[in-house]
Amino acid sequence: MRQPEIGRPLRLFVLVLALLLVAPVARSGWTLLRAGAFLVELLSDGRWRALSTMTPPPLRRRLVVPGAAVDRWLPTGVSSGVPLVLVHGFAKLGKNEPGVRRAASLLARAGFDVAVPTIPGLTAGRLRPIDAEPVVAALEARPGPAVLVAVSVGAGPAFLAAADPRARGRVRTLVSVDGYASAVELVRFLLTGEYAFGEARGRTIREPEAVQAFVTANADLVDASARRLLAAREPAEAEAAVQDLSPPLRALLEALSPVRVAPDITARLVLIHGRGDRGIPYTESLRLAAARPEGTRGLLVELLGHAEGVPSGWGAADALRLWGVLYRLLSDGG
């Protein structure tokens, strides 16, 4: 199933900017220089290896965490990095996905102490509440409060972990990049292309193979009510089918919804979403922001215009706006 992934250049660009908005590591001139080099390398799709030239390769180690497969990426030559847990989206190889490894490596070069757990369900195109367990375990293994970054459907396990009493106090800031809020709405969108929140609404043409991949990966969820939704061809039919989902299926989808637990999260929330994202619509970040408005910052950008994260330009206006937010944060002491 084709979904936006952390390893693609533009997704990673926005992720990095989100981290710079919230991470205390960006307080020194040297860190600002590294951040600038990081952006240059990312925006040029690696053609200008500014950060890689300035910094030595990070150290990659296995982090021993009971019940989870976790890699740790450490900046070389730095006494300590800012603890960070990175939750990938759909990735067949989990933490070993090449794009995920590249992201972790670059984040470590920037000065973060990065832990990347494999989320089993997200390697198979499916998601269940138990997929939050590797995130909770990784957070419990972190030294002190960490920045928790979730990409795409990784928002599900990340939000569930951040609201879990075992890990709630271990998250300083939760950054969601192109994440979802409601699993019910996500299913509606994946199957019909319809999205809406408040006055914002629209429709995206869904690729038949993407729908089939979703159905195949989640065949155990396709009961009679789900088949009615799959058979819907008009918006009104789809809406009726969504409202008529069976109680077990609706209960599972509700359990997977970040919007359900958002009010229980004590960490700051930073929500970044591309207005033109065809993988998960920006209305999902609007829904999350409305569920937990206090201590939440939402940034809708035009940078992300394609589900695959292919740059349509340098996005100077968005980059300047995000850097303006960064500058204000730095001026106020972060």
pLDDT tens track for 108-119 = 887 789 999 999
CATH number of 9-182+257-265+304-331: 3.40.50
pLDDT at 18: 54
pLDDT at 134: 97
pLDDT at 162: 97
Which stretches in the chain have pLDDT values below 70?
1-40, 42-45, 206-208, 210-211, 232-235, 303-334
pTM: 0.84
HEC readout, the chain: CCCCCCCCHHHHHHHHHHHHHHCCCCCCHHHHHHHHHHHHHHHCCCCCCHHHHHCCCCEEEEEEECCEEEEEEECCCCCCCEEEEEECCCCCCHHHCHHHHHHHHHHHHCCEEEEEECCHHHHCCCCCHHHHHHHHHHHHCCCCCEEEEEEHHHHHHHHHHHHCCCCHHHEEEEEEECCCCCHHHHHHHHHHCEEEECCEEEECCCCHHHHHHHHHHCHHHCCHHHHHHHHCCCHHHHHHHHHCCCHHHHHHHHHCCHHHHHHHCCCEEEEEEECCCCCCCCHHHHHHHHHCCCCEEEEEECCCCCCCCCCCCCCHHHHHHHHHHHHHHHHCCC
pLDDT at 326: 38
Give domain limits for the chain. 9-182+257-265+304-331, 184-252
pLDDT at 328: 39
pLDDT tens track for 162-175 = 999 999 999 988 98
pLDDT tens track for 267-312 = 989 898 988 888 899 999 999 999 999 999 888 887 554 333 444 4
